[in-house]
Structure 1
Amino acid sequence: MEGKRSILIVGGGTAGWLTAAYLAKFLDVANRPDLSITLVESTDIGIVGVGEGAFPTIRTTLQFLDIDERDFIRATGATFKQGIRFDDWVRTPAPGEHDHFFHPFEAPLYTPDASMVSLWLAEDEATRPPFAEAVTIQHRVAEERRGPKRAEEDGFAAPLNYAYHFDARALARLLADRARQLGVAHVEDRLLGARLNESGGIECLDFERLGTMTADLFIDCTGLAAELIGNAIREPLVSVRRYLFTDRALACRVPRGDPDAPLPSYTIAAAHEAGWIWDIGLRDMRGIGLVYSSDHVGEERARDVLGGYIGQPELAADARLIAFDPGYRRRQWVGNCVAVGMAAGFLEPLESTGIVLIEAAAAMIAELLPPSGPVDASADRFNALMTARFDNIVNFLKLHYCLSERAEPFWRDNVDPASIPDALREMLDRWRSRPPSRFDFTLDVETFAYFNYQYILYGMGFRTDPPGGGMPDTRRAASAFARIRHFGDQAVDDLPSHRELIRQINES
């Protein structure tokens, strides 16, 4: 490398600080006099911090950054997340009648002599257990509010797959501390604007106190404002609202009641007339938010629904309104500017894909950034991979809506074939004859595996033709499901309650 190469990240939060820490660790910035990373953030821009969920990949990222799991849990008020419980997504609830299904992180139990999915499909629909309950022990563990591991087990290791719930503001502070330790320079200042060069790239940035700053690579982590990729470079946002209708969220913090009450180790996603409500249990509070479509319900009605769910209308009245256009930029790396996080795109909070996309982008930038020569040499490859990843996430999120039997207009509009992406419609047609397979997906551009699709499909009541012909092997199926129930019973006996696990970690 000739001379010194510099990276300037604009914006903090999870996107900015995770990207900064990841690049600094991967590129060994602390020991590289030829490379610098600077992060500039404005204190005027806050982080929602009402509780956020992640995907299991966050464990690998934290481990890569050498962040101790116990330190992370204590610093962010974190709890464990073993999946998502979907309440009332299938049918409109009648008074006193509700249903739910579970999307665990654990894959269906593998057996060398039979497919658990095939055995379940062959069983009588009227008598077989729910899909997640039948094929994995995590359903039972989560329902019993057990943790996925014991307190004495090594960090990031456990018998069951898991992620976390955490305070987003606290996570940003933790990542900032780690990034600075890894050699990232930190400046607080307000961006005034960007100046472009003749080729349409960024020439320099103007700040209130710093004045003019230049860099070889500018990373836009300014959130929905998209100050660099959107306002300066004018790369358009491609809306996907024809598929995903929600475009508003009301978010609030709810004080925790009884500190000894059982603590769920899953996100609750409760459907309502025009969207859904997230309910995340942290150590010291609950993060609750209502996601809705402004085409189907007004803000006043949305606040009423949120207040009814919480039981405290005054908290709903003060909930922060977040407006967004679900979509993404097909070119997230343009010249010497690359967008990460909400600046690159945002779909909706369902299934916690926001941080997964940050992790994917940071890892790709680290590996694709050339040590010399044009900084955008791999931009086309980055854009192709991120576009495919966004498109596939759109398909997965839409799957949660388009199979519903709920009667309200929002849900009926979601079932309209015209609102379903072509790729998803083609997959649904295939899956009427066989269950989703690993061969349906290309791993490098996927966030969700084939079994994630199975949990949603069969949780929503999708029907796949039973495999083979003749009479189902009921004895074999009964034996397999009994074995899983037995393993589940053992796990419930062996694992601590989630509440006790969090208490032990915080007191150690």
Structure 2
Amino acid sequence: MQAKEKKISHIVIVGGGTAGWLAASHLAKQLRPNAADGVKVTLIESPNIPTIGVGEGTVPMMRNTLKDLGITETEFFKHCDATFKQGIKFVDWLDNPTNEHSSYYHHLFDYPEIDHFDATPYWLKGLAGEGRSFADCVSLQGIVCDAELAPKKITTPEYEGITSYGYHLDANKFSALLTKNAVERHGVQHIKAHVEEVCLNDDGEIHSVITKEKGEISGDFFVDCTGFDCLLLGKTLGVPFVDKSDVLFVDHALTIQIPYESEDATIPSYTISTAMEAGWIWDIGLLERRGVGHVYSSKYTSHEEAEKALRAYVGPMADKYPTRLIPMNIGHREKFWHKNCAALGLAQGFVEPLEATGLLVFDATAKMLAAQFPTQKNTMNIVAKQFNERIKLSWESVIDFVKLHYYLSRRDDNQFWLDNRKAETTPDTLLERLELWKTQLPNALDFYSGYEIFKLENYLYVLYGMEFSTDIEALSHRYPETEKAKQFFSAIEKAAAKLKGDLSSNRELVNKILSFGLQKV
């Protein structure tokens, strides 16, 4: 058997954290290290290096991941200080805030019903009534969120919901749970050691890594989860970084962790994203604390002013707690798989925490790597080409969607927002879609790639939450079901009112889960 046809029998993942352990978990579940002909999966993690911990919000896909990996939802809640998340509430993104005025809209996890009856054109025609938001007219969930309620009951089985949901979680505790599960359930070998050198073979592939504590560790395939350092794919194999800071301007995050003022304080079941003069602030409610962070561009404000804005947002309690400054590389690698190495997590790319893109892309691309992982080295180049094409499309779609939030804003209180609305800072793919949608409804066929992370339903919430104008007067004849639409809007309103009486608060439900557990599926 020639070397290039050699069976891939050992995968070495360098770097832990959430990305590393998601990669290890998905690969090990697919490739079964404990089986007689399984592929060995080893994760090398530097001791005493904390995860960045920015990614504390997930989307509903994480429910499937946890279930697939054999983690019960009750176990997850007990280990991760987790709460429910039903979407993102965007505050002050549309207009400059004033003392008398503050606007908001929801990007919900319950998708609008558009397959059997699309109410969107009828909402645009004003048939839902004066002042009703798009989200409240196509889904129950915004009303549930505004009432500070949870997405399910204690009697609802694990991973099922009355409304759709993801989670807020403590990233460090989540990594610890993934570690335990990957090692004990899926047979991942865990090595704690510092990688000091990367060794290549004559073909320019990675042969091994030299660690300080465990010496040389060789493998057939390597996964780079070394964060922004990108030690393997970037520094060793020379794959360049594609900078996207000309499109997405934020480059730093200042974070702070704040305990609640009382044990019964309200925990929103959504991430709060509040626009600021040169960026935005996230506010995530976990069970024991709030995680708050100011994401901003150092080109448009100073670190001192950013910290001042963060502390003012949090209030007097902020003075008791330190902040942590996190520089961010905005962009992605030119390729994500080169020779016998693939990058995942921050080593692959990062655009900013808006819309929980970090954990979402980490999880999605780790699943993709595991699902199409080759058995032989002689097919590796084919799979690598497919992987690179698909992941590039995914990153481009994420960048377009994140930019959409800035481009549609009418804020003008800082040059940051004015520059974000310039065509030269906006991808042509996004500009073309927006031009099309001025005179016709967004359509599922506009999203022709199966590897776009954000699709039609996500765009609808943001477009019409931010008052994008679609003039459908010339198309009005296509939408004659006026009475059906009015009945639909009325039914949504009545169902939401009933649901408000059936659900408990986020905090109350999580406390019940910790005491009694959820029903197994």
Q: TM-score, normalised by structure 2?
A: 0.93
Moved more, 291-300 or 431-440: 431-440
CA apart distance, 1:85: 0.2
Letter in 2 for 1:413: D
Q: Which amino acid aligns with 1:82?
A: Q
Secondary structure at the counterpart of residue 462 of structure 1? coil
Question: Could you give the per-residue CA deviations for residues 454-505 of structure 1, whole angstroms, max 9, x where no partner exists?
Answer: 1001111100012534798765543321110001011111122222111100
Question: Where do 1:397-412 residues align within 5 Å?
Answer: 397-407=402-412, 408-412=414-418
State the AA in 2 paired with 1:123.
G
Change (3 A) 1:125 1:464: farther
133, 140, 163: which one aligns with 1:130: 133
Q: In the alignment, which residue of structure 2 is the partner of 1:449?
A: 455
SS state at 1:444 partner: coil
Q: Aligned partners of 1:99 and 1:385: how far apart in 2?
A: 37
- Pair 1:165 & 2:168 matched: yes
| 2:322 counterpart of 1:318 | yes
1:386-439, Cα deviation, whole Å (9 max, x unpaired)? 000000100000000001110121101100111110000000011111222111
- Within a 5 Å distance, the mapping from 1:418-429 to structure 2 comes to 418-429=424-435
Taking the aligned partners of 1:52 and 1:223, their CA distance within structure 2 comes to 16
Match of 1:218 in 2: 222
SS at match of 1:200: coil
1:6-405 superposed matches below 5 A: 6-49=10-53, 52-110=56-114, 112=116, 114-123=117-126, 127-181=130-184, 182-312=186-316, 315=319, 318-374=322-378, 375-405=380-410
Please give the alpha-carbon distance, in whole angstroms, between the structure 2 residues aligned to 1:231 and 1:133.
49
1:491–1:190 distance in 2 versus 1, CA, 3 Å: same
CA contact (8 A) 2:112 2:457 kept: yes
Rate the CA distance shift 1:115–1:304 in 2: closer, same or farther, 3 A: same
Aligned to 2:470: 464
Deviation of 1:362 (Å): 1.6
What is the DSSP-based 3-state SS (H/G/I as helix, E as strand, rest coil) of the residue aligned with 1:30?
coil
Secondary structure, in 3 states, of the residue corresponding to 1:270?
strand
Secondary structure of residue in 1 paired with 2:416: helix
Which sits farther off after the overlay, 120-129 or 366-375?
120-129
2:84/2:166 contact within 8 Å kept: yes
SS at match of 2:293: strand
1:485 is the counterpart of 2:489: no
Question: Any idea what SS the aligned residue of 2:501 has?
Answer: helix
Distance 1:207 1:376, change over 3 A: farther
Structure 2 Cα separation of the partners of residues 273 and 316 of structure 1: 25
Which residue in the other structure is 1:496 paired with? 504
Amino acid at match of 1:130: S
Bigger drift between 423-432 and 205-214 goes to 205-214
Secondary structure of the corresponding residue to residue 62 of structure 1: helix
**1:285-315 C-alpha deviation (Å, 9 max, x unpaired):** 0010000011100100000000100114755
After superposition, the C-alpha distances for 1:137-175 in whole angstroms (9 at most, x for unaligned) are: 001011111111111211111121110000000000000
Amino acid of the residue matched to residue 495 of structure 2?
Answer: F
CA 396–504 in structure 1, closer or farther in 2 if over 3 Å, else same: same
Give the structure-1-normalised TM-score: 0.96
Alpha-carbon displacement from aligned partner over 1:238-268 (angstroms, at most 9, x marks no partner):
0111110101001121111222122210000
* 42-51 vs 454-463, which moves further: 42-51
When residues 313 and 495 of structure 1 are mapped into structure 2, their CA distance, relative to the original with a 3 A threshold, is: closer
- Return the offset for 1:49: 3.6
Q: CA RMSD in A?
A: 2.0
Counterpart Cα distance in 2 of 1:323 and 1:143:
33
Q: Which runs of 5+ in 1 are unaligned?
A: none
Residues 190, 208 of structure 1: 8 Å contact kept: yes
Which residue number corresponds to residue 506 of structure 1? Answer: 514
| 1:370 to partner: Cα distance | 1.5
Contact 1:138 1:160 in 2 (8 A): yes
Counterpart Cα distance in 1 of 2:321 and 2:299 = 20
Question: SS in structure 2 opposite 1:133?
Answer: helix
- Report if aligned partners of 1:107, 1:451 keep a CA contact under 8 Å in 2: yes
CA distance in 1, matches of 2:318, 2:84: 29
* Distance (Å, rounded) in 2 between the aligned partners of 1:499 and 1:440: 40
Deviation at 1:22, TM superposition (A): 1.2
Runs of at least 4 residues of structure 1 off by over 4 A? 1-4, 313-317, 470-476
- Deviation of 1:63 (Å): 0.7
> Structure 2 counterpart of 1:345, which letter?
G
Deviation at 1:231, TM superposition (A): 1.2
Distance 1:218 1:45, change over 3 A: same
| Counterpart AA for 1:495 | L
Superposed, 1:427-438 pairs within 5 Å as 427-438=433-444
8 Å contact from structure 1 (residues 220, 343) kept in 2: yes
Q: Is the 8 A contact 1:296 1:410 kept in 2?
A: yes
Given that 2:344 and 2:362 are in contact with CA atoms closer than 8 Å, whether structure 1 keeps it comes out as yes
CA 1:203 to 1:428, structure 2 compared with 1: closer, same or farther past 3 Å?
same
Deviation at 1:71, TM superposition (A): 0.6
> May I ask how many residue pairs the two structures share in their alignment?
507
Shift of 1:316: 8.8
Distance 1:318 1:469 in 2: 56
Are the counterparts in 2 of residues 122 and 472 from structure 1 also a CA contact under 8 Å?
no
**Following the alignment from structure 1 to structure 2, what is the Cα–Cα distance between the partners of residues 228 and 21?**
20
CA distance in 1, matches of 2:441, 2:181: 43
Matched position secondary structure for 1:322 = strand
* 2:325 aligned counterpart, secondary structure: strand
- Shift of the 504–405 alpha-carbon distance from structure 1 to 2, 3 Å rule, reads same
Query: Secondary structure of 2:294's partner?
Result: strand
